[in-house]
Structures are given as structure tokens and as C-alpha cells.
Amino acid sequence: MKYQWFISPNTQFCELPEPILLESGEMLGNVQVGYRTWGKLNAARDNAVVICHALTGWADADEWWEPLFGPGRAFDPEQDFIICSNVLGSCYGTTGPTSVNPATGCPYGPDFPRITIRDMVRVQAALLEVLGVEQIKLVVGGSLGGMQVLEWAILYADKVEAIASIAASGRHSAWCIGLSEAQRQAIYADPNWRGGLYTIDEPPAAGLAAARMMAMCTYRAWGSFEQRFSRTVQEDGRLAIASYLQHQGDKLVKRFDANTYITLTQAMDTHDLSRGLEDYYKVLARISQPASIVAIDSDLLYPPTEQQELATYMPNAQLSWLHSPHGHDAFLIDMEELNAILVNFRHEQLKRHRSNSRVNGLAPVVRRSPFLF
């Protein structure tokens, strides 16, 4: 089987001018970022909307969040300068385990450094610096994207005007870490894994497929599987649910890399907004931007209690419910409902901005410090 990287022809690339100091203390040089933009940066350089993607996502947000784009929708290229970049450590155009390590001339593979959500956000911030963005209207994302959103609010508090974090938590739970570890062990158990030093023609496909099958069960919900598959047996004799999961596993293997899966799930496991700072609840209290916290009522992976906690301790947060039978992945499925939540939040943000401008007079345009943290 041939590995196929799906990097869309629309992807743009940026070589970051400076190395990135990772949270581990390691310097990562020659960082390339794969990204997309829609709309134009305005003269004040303050109309940016940053979209952060989920675990196996990529920069083409107008594909996987297509109904959220357009006039009057959550993201309007006539008004917004919308940016979505592939995360650090991924295999869709940004430096990660499949990239060539300049020190060896070979792909990093398992030697790619351990990274964190903060490292991902610092890479995004460095890209925005290159693009000339001064101020960000909104940072938005679901799942892994939602974790990045929350880190953005803390790391770049002076740049970020509002956030929308969907189906995410402020620190990865034991439940999530346990599920991720089981998925990684499935990859390690594949004889082709070879400590991560597999070849492009013999990847640990069975292990990665099994990991995806486990993950898919956590991205959906009991009711949605019952409704869709029940105990149906297909003409080929397989249970429909088994056949569906096998299909999802095979599909991921054709578009994703096992070392990348390990790198990104390990990064998610480091997620804790309070790491190296102070008490977790005090850190949540620091997030003072207007925040839309979206909970999916059927989410088994990041259950609503986690978003309720975020909204309780973040001083300007509002909790919205995405009612769906589909579980965690509802933010990629029930997009009209999600769009309505985000449109409503953005309208309120605009009203607040206008009434502040009336009270205070128009704020002068101030040249702010660069994005470097």
C-alpha cells in the first residue's frame, strides 16, 4: 500500500523566520506552516478570525466547516480576514514527524520533539506576525481546536478580542488520556510500527486503523450508533457497525501518518491551561475576553460538565448547547446549529463593540507589541 499525503493544492506555505522555542526547552528551526486565508486584512489589521482545527483536520476550513462560511454566516470573507493553519506536528503542510529533519536529511519520524498545545499556538502566532495581523477578532475551534483557542486567550490576552471554544476542556481528563493511550498502544502493537521507524511502503496500517476505530466510538454516541446501525447484518455477513468502523479505519490510514497520530495525541494529553502557572481555577478566571463555550449534550469524550466548569469560572463566558444525537463530532456534523450559535455570539460581540465605541469615542489605532511571547 502506498502512503498518500493529502495536502490540498490551495494550501499556502510560510517558512517561519525564527526558530520556535518549544515548551520542552528544545529549539525547532526551519518551521514551515501550511495555511489558508479568506478575505482581506483591513487597514487597521484588526479583522482577523483564527480557526483552529481538530486532531486529523487540515487548513481547508471552508471544506470541513463549509456551511459556516459566507455572507451572514459565522465567517464572512467580506468582513473578516480568516486564517486556518495546519497545526505544528501534523502531516498536512506544517512541520511534523513526516517533515525532513534538517539535521539528518531524513524525516523526523519518532524523533520529532514532544510538543504541546502551547507550542502549536506559538507557531500560529508566528504565522500571524508574518501575515501582519495586529489584533484578532475571534479565535474559534472544536476539540483539539478548542484547546488551542483557550491557550490563545491566555498566551495572547492583549491580542485576542473574543474566543469560541467548542467541545473542549481546560485540561485533558484521565478519561481522554486513557483512551488516547489505548489508541497509541494499538499502533505500537502493529509489527510494522518498528519503534516508529517504519517505511512509507509498510506503515503500521492495522494499528492506526484500530486506533481510529476506537476513536470513532468516542466521537459518536450510543444513540447515534443504535439509530444508524442497530444490530443490522450486511449482505457480506458483517455487522454494519463493524463494517462502518473498519471503513473509517481504512480511510484514515490512507490520509494520515502513525507518528503524527502519536505526536498529536501526546500533545493533547499535555493539555492543562494551568501548567506552570497557578491554580487551575485562577487561570480560568484570567480569561476575561467574551467567550462562547459550546457544549454538545451527547459528547462522551469532553462531557458537558467540562464546558460548564469553563463557563462558570471564566468571567465573561456564555455557555451554549449544541443539541445533537451524534456525540463529540457533532461540531463537524450539525453545522447549521453551530453556525447559529456562532453568528449569535458574533452579533453580541459587535453590539458590545459599537456601544463601547459610542461611550468611549473611537479607540485610536495603537501599534502593539509583536506576537512573540
Ligand X SMILES: CC(=O)SCCNC(=O)CCNC(=O)[C@H](O)C(C)(C)COP(=O)(O)OP(=O)(O)OC[C@H]1O[C@@H](n2cnc3c(N)ncnc32)[C@H](O)[C@@H]1OP(=O)(O)O
Ligand Y SMILES: N[C@@H](CCO)C(=O)O
Residue 332 binds ligand X, judged by CB under 6 A: yes
Specify whether 328 is catalytic: yes
Among 56, 79, 101, 344, binds ligand Y (CB under 6 A): 56
Under rule CB under 6 A, residue 36 binds ligand X = no
The footprint of ligand Y on residues 129-158 (CB under 6 A) is: 143
In sequence order, which ranges of the chain are alpha helices (DSSP H)?
Answer: 61-64, 117-131, 144-155, 174-188, 205-219, 222-228, 240-253, 258-269, 280-286, 304-313, 335-360
Q: Which does 333 bind (CB under 5 to 8 A by kind): ligand Y, ligand X, none?
A: ligand X
* Residue 188 in contact with ligand X, rule: CB under 6 A: no
180 catalytic? Reply is no
> How many CB atoms are closer than 10 A to CB 359?
7
Say whether residue 371 binds ligand X (CB under 6 A): no
Of 53, 271, 326, 328, catalytic:
328
Q: All 3 cell numbers of residue 119? A: 507550542
List % helix, strand, coil for the chain (3-state, nearest 5): 40, 15, 45
Please work out the total of residues on this chain that contact ligand X, with binding judged by CB under 6 A: 15
Name which position in 40, 251, 351, 354 contacts ligand X (CB under 6 A). 251
Closest among 98, 118, 128, 94 to 23, alpha carbons compared: 118
Nearer to ligand X, 35 or 244 (CB): 244
Active-site residue among 99, 299, 320, 329? 299
**Catalytic annotation on 292?**
no
Which one of residues 7, 64, 192, 266 is an interface residue with ligand X (CB under 6 A)?
A: 64
Specify whether the CB–CB gap between 76 and 86 falls below 8 A. Answer: no
**Element of type H or E holding 15:** strand 12-15
Output the DSSP codes for 329-357.
GGGGT-HHHHHHHHHHHHHHHHHHHHHHH
Residue span 339-368 as binding mask against ligand Y, x where in contact by CB under 6 A, dash where not: ------------------------------
Residues identified as active-site: 143, 299, 328
Binding residues for ligand Y (CB under 6 A): 54-57, 143, 219, 328-329, 332
